[in-house]
A and B are shown apart, each in its own frame.
Chain A
Amino acid sequence: MKKRINNVINSFSGRITLLMLVGILLIAVTVSTVVLFMSRNTFKNTYAMSQEKVFEQIEKDMSNFNDQLENVIDTVDSSWAFRRFLMADSPLSNLQTFQNIYRMEKELEENKPAGLDRLNILIIGKNGESYLSRTETVTMSYDAIWESVPVKRAVNEPDVIHYMSMYDGYTATAKETSVVIVSKALYYRESRDIYAVVLITLSREQMMSLYDYYINDNNSLYLVDESDTVLVSNDLPSIGKKMENEWYGSVKDSGDGRISYGSGLDLTIEKAALPFMDCTLYGVINNESALKGLYNTSLLVAICALIGALILILCVYLTNKTTAPLSQLVGRMSKTRQEEFTEYMPVEGTIEVRQLAKTYNGMLDDIKNYISELIKIQQDKRAAEIKALQMQINPHYIYNTLASIKWMVYQGNVEKTTAMIDAFISLLRNTISNADEFITIDQEVENLNNYILINRARYGDAVQVEFYVSANCTDCLLPKLLLQPFVENAFFHAFPSGMSGMIEIYMKEKEGKLEIRICDDGIGMDSDKARNVLNSDNGKEHFSGIGVHNVKERLELLYGREYGVEIKSGENKGTQVTVTLPAVRKKYE
Chain B
Amino acid sequence: MNKIKTGMILFILITAVLSGCSDNKTEQAQKTVKTEAMEEVEVWLWDETFNVKAARMAAKIYEADNPGVNIVVRSREREEILSDIQRLLSAKMYDSLPDVIMMEDYDAQGVLSSFDEEFCELSDKVDYERFSEYKLRVCEWDGKRYGIPFDSGATALFYRSDILEEAGYTASDMADLTWDEFIEIGRDVYQKTGIPMITIDPTDMSLCRIIMQSCGRWYVKDDGTTPDIAENDALLGALKVYEKLIISNAGKSVNGWDDFISAFQKGEVAAVITGCWVVSNIKAVPEQSGLWRATQIPVLDENPDSVPMSNIGGSSWYVLKHGKNPEAAVDYVADMFGNNDEFMDILINEIGITPAVKNPAVYKSYEQTDPFFGNQRITKFLTEMTENIPPVNYGSSTYVIEDMVEEEYQNYFIDRRYEECLMAVESKAAAIMR
Interfacial residues, chain A to chain B (CB-CB below 8 A): 94-95, 97-99, 101-106, 117-118, 120, 130-138, 171-173, 175, 298, 302, 305-306, 309-310, 313, 316-317, 320-321
Contact = CB atoms under 8 A, between A and B. Distances in A.
B64 to A, nearest CB: 21
Interface stretch (B78-86, B374-382, B385-393, B418-426): B78-86
Given A94-B252, A105-B203, A320-B2, A172 B48 contact: yes
B115 interface: no
A323 to B, nearest CB: 12
A171 B251 CA distance: 26
Contacts of A172: 48, 75
A293 to B, nearest CB: 15
B256 interface: yes
Contact of A99 (B46, B79, B410): B410
A309 B262 CA distance: 80
A136 B257 contact: yes
A94 B254 contact: no
B256 A134 contact: yes
A132 B75 contact: no
B257 A98 contact: no
Interface string B401-413: 0000011001001
Interface stretch (B5-13, B321-329, B331-339): B5-13
A118 B257 contact: no
B247 interface: yes
Contacts of A95: 246-247, 253
Given A172-B48, A302-B20, A321 B2 contact: yes
Contacts of A321: 2
13 contacts: A99-B410, A101-B253, A118-B77, A118-B79, A118-B80, A118-B83, A134-B77, A135-B46, A135-B78, A136-B77, A136-B258, A306-B17, A313-B9
Nearest to A102: B202
Nearest to B201: A101
Contact of A98 (B9, B20, B48, B246): B246
Given A98-B253, A137-B262, A306 B13 contact: yes
B203 A101 contact: yes
Of all A-B residue pairs in the complex, the 3 with the closest CB atoms, nearest first, are: A97-B253, A102-B202, A98-B253
Contact of B249 (A94, A118, A134): A94
A175 B410 contact: no
Contacts of B58: none
Interface in B65-120: 75-80, 83
B59 interface: no
A320 to B, nearest CB: 6
Nearest to B203: A105
Contacts of A99: 202, 410, 413
A97 B259 CA distance: 13
* Secondary structure of the B contact surface, majority rule: helix
B123 interface: no
A118 B200 CA distance: 22
A306 B253 CA distance: 81
B393 to A, nearest CB: 24
B406 A134 contact: no
A98 B75 contact: no
Given A136-B257, A137-B48, A313-B9, 19 more contacts: A94-B196, A94-B246, A94-B253, A95-B246, A95-B247, A101-B255, A102-B202, A102-B406, A103-B410, A105-B202, A118-B80, A120-B77, A131-B255, A132-B257, A135-B256, A171-B258, A302-B20, A309-B9, A310-B10
B61 interface: no
Contacts of B433: none
A120 B196 CA distance: 28
B104 to A, nearest CB: 10
A98 B200 contact: yes
A94 B269 CA distance: 14
A102 to B, nearest CB: 4
A138 to B, nearest CB: 5
Interface string B238-256: 0000000011010111111
Interface of B: 2, 5-6, 9-10, 13, 17, 20, 46, 48, 75-80, 83, 196, 200-204, 246-247, 249, 251-259, 261-262, 406-407, 410, 413
A117 B80 CA distance: 9
Contact of B255 (A105, A117, A136, A306): A105
B246 A175 contact: no
B257 A134 contact: yes
B312 to A, nearest CB: 14
Contacts of B76: 173
A102 B410 contact: yes
A298 B20 CA distance: 9
A71 B175 CA distance: 50
A87 to B, nearest CB: 16
A496 B393 CA distance: 161
Contacts of B48: 137, 172, 175
A587 B32 CA distance: 111
Contacts of B2: 316-317, 320-321
A223 to B, nearest CB: 21
Given A118-B83, A137-B48, A306-B17, A173 B75 contact: yes
A320 B6 CA distance: 12
Contact of B257 (A103, A135, A298): A135
Nearest to A298: B20
A135 B201 contact: no
Contact of B203 (A94, A97, A102, A306): A102
A392 to B, nearest CB: 69
Nearest to A103: B410
Contacts of B256: 131-135
A373 to B, nearest CB: 43
Nearest to A302: B17
Contacts of A98: 200, 202, 246, 253
Interface centre among B10, B46, B48, B255, by most chain A C-beta atoms within 10 angstroms, is B255
A98 B200 CA distance: 8
Contacts of B246: 94-95, 98
B306 to A, nearest CB: 24
Nearest to A104: B255
A63 to B, nearest CB: 24
A321 B17 CA distance: 29
A257 B210 CA distance: 60
Contacts of A134: 77, 79-80, 256-257
A104 B202 CA distance: 11
A265 B310 CA distance: 66
Interface centre among B80, B200, B257, B259, by most chain A C-beta atoms within 10 angstroms, is B80
Contact of B10 (A298, A305, A313): A313
Contacts of B9: 309, 313
A137 B52 CA distance: 13
Contacts of A137: 48, 257-258, 261-262
Contacts of B203: 101-102, 105
Contacts of A138: 258, 262
Nearest to B204: A135
A137 B261 CA distance: 7
A136 B46 contact: yes
Nearest to B7: A313
B308 to A, nearest CB: 26
Given A101-B255, A102-B203, A302-B20, A135 B79 contact: yes
Nearest to A135: B257
Contacts of B247: 94-95
A275 B230 CA distance: 55
Nearest to B82: A118
A309 B259 CA distance: 80
A310 B11 CA distance: 11
Nearest to A137: B258
A120 B247 CA distance: 32
A104 B5 CA distance: 88
Contacts of A298: 20
Contacts of B200: 98
A86 to B, nearest CB: 12
